[in-house]
Amino acid sequence: MTTPTETPTVRPEEVLIEAISGMLAGLSHVAVGASSPIPGAAAFLTNSRAPTKTRVSILGSERNFFNEGARELFDLAGQGRIDAFFLSGGQIDGQANVNLVAVGDYRKPKARFPGSFGSAHMYYLVPRVILFRWEHSRRTLVEQVDFISAPGVSPANVHRPGGPHALITNLCLFDFDRQRARFRLRSVHPGHSLEEVRDQTGFDFDLPEDGQVPFTPTPDAATLETIRGPVARRLAEVYPTFAARVFDLGSAA
């Protein structure tokens, strides 16, 4: 573990935390998966800004309010008591299908991922699912996934109050249009470009209607203070490794 010799003004992770937090503003209950430190930080940031409005629960952590065991998160989703959730994928395609299972032939795969977790349920039921994948490459963002753990869109007769809302990577932020089943680029993170996004994306996507691609806003000074202070400290309780690496904080072993 190396200590950065110079702290950058705004870390790339902080841009994502701010962008995601913007998509969570005003929601009542945000649930975060067990290995999602950046979404977790974004949820904590939203909660710091509106502590009486937005609840945050971290799956698998002892720091949530569940007491019904593993099924409570999924039951809450079924009851409509979760407003936003995060999913990732070994592959994500242009129709927002996610693959958490395998690359190549399912029975003898070239790559095998851990498995679908709760995606094949949560993706259907949580109104605002934000896809999060740090690595933006043609390996991860593909034209068509090899295995659909959970589809981006469903026929009209399939009960589906929820679905994909956006996709955020280390390069940019896409919105998802459920009617057209396509991503539309919303913004590119500072230091990156539309060309880089095009180069690294395996699927076709739309541009903003006015054709102008803005940069993803960076957090202001007050927000940075919140992220690096209370948010980072809460994060260190749940994701110590991440907090130690990014914020130089945490209870490293």
Partner 1 sequence: MDITPTSVESLVSQVEDGAMIALPPQYSNCSLVMARALIRRGVRDLHLVGVPQMGLHADLLIGAGCVSVVETAAVTMGEYGLAPRFTAAAKAGTLKVLDGTCPAILTQLQASEKGTPFGVLRGMIGSDLLKHRDDWKVGENPFAENDPIVYLPALKPDFTMMHALKADREGNIWLGVRRELMLMARASAATLVTVEEIVDENLIADPVTAAGTLPAIYVSAIAEVADGAWPYALPGGYREDEAHLREYMTLAQTEEGFQTYLQRFVFDGEPRVAAE
- Minimum separation from the CB atom of position 100 to partner 1 (A): 8
Q: Which range binds partner 1 by CB under 8 A, 6-14, 77-85, 193-201, 224-232?
A: 77-85
184 in contact with partner 1 (CB under 8 A): no
Which C-beta is closer to partner 1: that of 116 or that of 216?
116
- Beta carbons of 92 and 166 less than 8 angstroms apart: no
Instruction: Report residue 93 as tokens.
Output: 């395609």
Which C-beta is closer to partner 1: that of 39 or that of 118?
118
- Minimum separation from the CB atom of position 79 to partner 1 (A): 6
- Minimum separation from the CB atom of position 166 to partner 1 (A): 20
Q: Which range binds partner 1 by CB under 8 A, 1-9, 121-129, 196-204, 215-223?
A: 121-129
d(CA 77, CA 85): 9
Binding mask 229-248 for partner 1 (x = CB under 8 A): ----------x-x-------
Out of 6, 68, 195, 209, point to the residue binding partner 1 (CB under 8 A).
68
Binding mask 90-119 for partner 1 (x = CB under 8 A): ----------xxx---xxxxxxxxxxxxxx
At 138, the amino acid letter reads R
Helix or strand holding residue 44 (H, E)? helix 37-49
Burial of 64 (0-12, 13-18, 19+ CB in 10 A): middle
Which C-beta is closer to partner 1: that of 162 or that of 219?
162
- Beta carbons of 250 and 236 less than 8 angstroms apart: yes
Site for partner 1 in 149-178 (CB under 8 A): 149-151, 154-155, 157-159
- Beta carbons of 12 and 192 less than 8 angstroms apart: no
Which position has the token pair 């002892």? 62
Angstrom distances, CA of residue 160 to CA of 8, 28, 74, 152: 42, 20, 14, 11
- Minimum separation from the CB atom of position 253 to partner 1 (A): 4
- Beta carbons of 49 and 25 less than 8 angstroms apart: yes
Q: What is the DSSP string of 58-79?
A: ETT-SSSS--STTHHHHHHHHT
At 37, the amino acid letter reads P
Site residues for partner 1 per CB under 8 A: 29, 34-35, 51-52, 55, 60, 62, 65-72, 74-81, 100-102, 106-125, 147-151, 154-155, 157-159, 239, 241, 253
